C-alpha cells in the first residue's frame, strides 16, 4: 500500500441507517396518502351521486310557474328560489368537476432503481448506498407531497361546495314547502 492509501481515512456515515429508515417511512407515508385521497374522492363521487338524485326535484318549475301566474305576490319567493337554485347548480357542477380533476391521471415520483446499478452502488459500502437511496427518496417525497397537498386542497374545496349544495337544497325545500 502506498502512503496515500494509508493516510486516506474511510468515510463512515454512522447514522445512515437511521436516516434511510426515516426517509423510507416518510416515502411510504406519501404513497399511502395517495391511496387515502383516492378513497376520499370515491366517497365524494358517491355523495355527489346521492345528492344528484335528491336535487333533481328542484329542477321542476312547472308547478311554481303555474302558481306564479295565479298569484303575482309569489314573485319574491320565486326569485329567492331561483337564486338559491342557481347557486346550488353551480356549486354542484363545480364540485363534480373538481372531483374529476383530482381523480385524473397524474405522475407520481419514484426512485430510479436503474441508478443503483449505473452508479455501481452494489459495490459500495452499505452506509453509502443507504445515503444514496435516501437522497433519491427525499426528492420523490418532496415532489409527491406537492402533488398530494394540491389534490387535498382541491378535495377540500369540493367538499365545501358539496356543503353549499346541501345548504341550498334545505333552503329550497323550505321555500318550496312554504310558498309553492
The predicted pLDDT at position 124 comes to: 87
Scanning the chain, the segments in alpha helix (DSSP H) are: 3-7, 16-55, 62-70, 75-103, 114-118, 126-179
Taking residues 26-55, what's their average pLDDT? 93
The predicted pLDDT at position 8 comes to: 56
**Mean pLDDT, all residues of the chain:** 89
pTM for the structure as a whole: 0.80
157 has a pLDDT exceeding 90? yes
* Higher per-residue confidence, 61 vs 5: 61
1 has a pLDDT exceeding 50? no
Taking residues 96-120, what's their average pLDDT? 89
All structural domains of the chain with their residue ranges: 33-57+66-179
Instruction: Out of 3-7, 61-65, 67-71, 126-130, give the one with best mean pLDDT.
Output: 126-130
Taking residues 113-139, what's their average pLDDT? 90
User: Measured in whole angstroms, how far is the alpha carbon of residue 130 from the centre of its chain?
Assistant: 31
Amino acid at each position: 500500500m502506498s502512503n496515500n492509501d494509508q493516510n486516506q481515512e474511510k468515510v463512515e456515515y454512522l447514522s445512515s441507517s437511521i436516516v434511510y429508515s426515516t426517509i423510507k417511512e416518510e416515502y411510504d407515508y406519501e404513497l399511502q396518502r395517495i391511496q387515502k385521497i383516492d378513497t376520499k374522492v370515491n366517497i365524494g363521487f358517491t355523495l355527489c351521486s346521492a345528492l344528484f338524485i335528491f336535487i333533481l326535484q328542484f329542477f321542476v318549475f312547472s308547478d311554481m310557474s303555474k302558481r306564479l301566474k295565479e298569484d303575482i305576490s309569489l314573485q319574491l319567493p320565486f326569485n329567492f328560489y331561483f337564486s338559491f337554485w342557481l347557486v346550488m347548480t353551480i356549486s354542484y357542477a363545480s364540485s363534480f368537476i373538481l372531483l374529476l380533476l383530482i381523480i385524473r391521471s397524474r405522475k407520481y415520483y419514484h426512485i430510479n432503481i436503474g441508478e443503483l446499478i449505473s452508479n455501481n452502488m452494489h459495490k459500495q459500502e452499505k452506509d453509502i448506498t443507504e445515503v444514496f437511496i435516501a437522497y433519491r427518496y427525499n426528492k420523490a417525497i418532496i415532489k409527491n407531497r406537492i402533488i398530494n397537498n394540491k389534490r387535498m386542497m382541491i378535495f377540500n374545496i369540493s367538499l365545501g361546495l358539496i356543503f353549499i349544495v346541501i345548504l341550498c337544497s334545505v333552503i329550497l325545500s323550505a321555500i318550496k314547502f312554504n310558498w309553492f
